[in-house]
Amino acid sequence: MKPIALVTGGSRGIGHGCALALAQSGFDLAIGGRRPESECTPALDALRQAGAVVLYAVCDVADASQRSGLLAAIKARFGRLNVLVNNAGIAPSERRDILEATEESFEHVVRTNLQGPYFLTQAVARWLIEQKQADAAFHGCIVNVSSISSTVASVNRGEYCISKAGVSMAAQLWAVRLAEFGLPVYEVRPGVIATDMTAGVHHKYDRLIADGLVPERRWGQPEDVGRAVATLARGDIPYATGQVVVVDGGMTLPKL
């Protein structure tokens, strides 16, 4: 029986890179996203071609009722869940200096990037505990996809940085709480990744990367993050709950 992974925001960008790597690693998939399923057909087809049975459910992680509906759909389709990848996230609709930023933007970003995933983790954790207690051989884990913005200050999108710092701490909190059940929790921290979210600053970062911002001298790709997530989801790195895997081409390394 194949393990089941839930990837929020798994129909594009980093989330799709994670979902594809999991499909290639033998997982069946539940994908949550805000877009109608008809708009995600090419991405979902690619996951199926990689060998996965795929369930797609419309879910805004900021909405508690939609989170509950997503988990109900997974239970109805698969009856089990092994892995949660908290990937869904948004950038501010408008980048503003923190002297000018609005409470509305702060609330919107934090609800989507931090509050929603935190309470989705709570619900999934309870389910994983139930499965572990019913079967000692059950393998489950949680992976939070954060960002180097959890530690690198960008004063024109403070709400995003704060939300990702919270995601980092949430991974530590859940790692401590779930360790007694043998359920590891990890954080994967991407750097500058080529996605829809970074499309608007592509030319800027082309120049910065060429000038040495990233020691590996290239953009990160969704599949770079996906490989890291799949490695953790498979259980290839045991005895390491709470650890952070930084996927940034060396960008945040201290250097002279």
Average pLDDT over residues 22-33: 98
User: What's 117's domain CATH number?
Assistant: 3.40.50.720
To the question of pTM greater than 0.95 for the whole model, the response is yes
Determine phi and psi for 38, rounding to 5 degrees: -60, -25
> Are 224 and 195 within 8 A, CB to CB?
no
Model pLDDT, residue 52: 98
User: From CA 53, how far away is CA 58, in angstroms rounded?
Assistant: 17
Beta strands 54-58; 4-8: pairing state:
unpaired
> Are 241 and 214 within 8 A, CB to CB?
no
Per DSSP, what are the bridge partners of residue 55? 30
Secondary structure (3-state) at 6: strand
Residue 160 lies inside a defined structural domain of this protein: yes
Question: C-alpha distances in angstroms, 219 versus 8, 11, 207, 249, 251?
Answer: 23, 20, 11, 8, 11
Question: How many other CB atoms sit within 10 Å of the CB of residue 206?
Answer: 11
Residue 76 lies inside a defined structural domain of this protein: yes
Residue 90 lies inside a defined structural domain of this protein: yes
Question: C-alpha distances in angstroms, 83 versus 108, 160, 171, 180, 215?
Answer: 26, 25, 14, 17, 32
Average pLDDT over residues 69-86: 98
CA angle 73, 117, 166 (to 5 degrees): 175
Determine phi and psi for 207, rounding to 5 degrees: -65, -45
Residue 255 lies inside a defined structural domain of this protein: no
Residue 254 lies inside a defined structural domain of this protein: no
Give tens-digit pLDDT for 83-134.
999 999 999 999 999 999 999 999 999 999 999 999 999 999 999 999 999 9
Question: Amino acid identity, residue 85?
Answer: V
Determine phi and psi for 224, rounding to 5 degrees: -65, -45
Q: Among candidates 146, 140, 254, which has minimal Cα distance to 191?
A: 146
Residue 27 lies inside a defined structural domain of this protein: yes
Model pLDDT, residue 152: 98
Q: Which two tokens stand for residue 58?
A: 């419309």
Q: Quick one: pLDDT band at residue 43, thresholds 50, 70, 90?
A: very high
Q: Residue 104, exposed/middle/buried by CB under 10 A (0-12, 13-18, 19+)?
A: exposed
Model pLDDT, residue 197: 79
Q: Which domain holds residue 81?
A: 4-247
Tell whether the model's pLDDT for residue 201 goes beyond 90.
no
Query: How many independent structural domains does the chain possess?
Result: 1
Residues 6+ apart with CB under 8 A from 84: 5, 6, 120, 121, 124, 141, 142, 143
Model pLDDT, residue 200: 76
Residue 236 lies inside a defined structural domain of this protein: yes
Residue 252 lies inside a defined structural domain of this protein: no
**What is the rounded end-to-end Cα distance, in angstroms, of the chain?**
51
Mean of pLDDT over the chain:
97
Look-up of token digits 């999991």: 22
Q: Among candidates 21, 1, 17, which has minimal Cα distance to 232?
A: 21
160-195 per-residue burial string, b: 16 or more CB within 10 A, e: under 16: bbbbbbbbbebbbebbeebeebebbbbbbbbbbbbb
Q: Among candidates 176, 63, 186, which has minimal Cα distance to 116?
A: 63
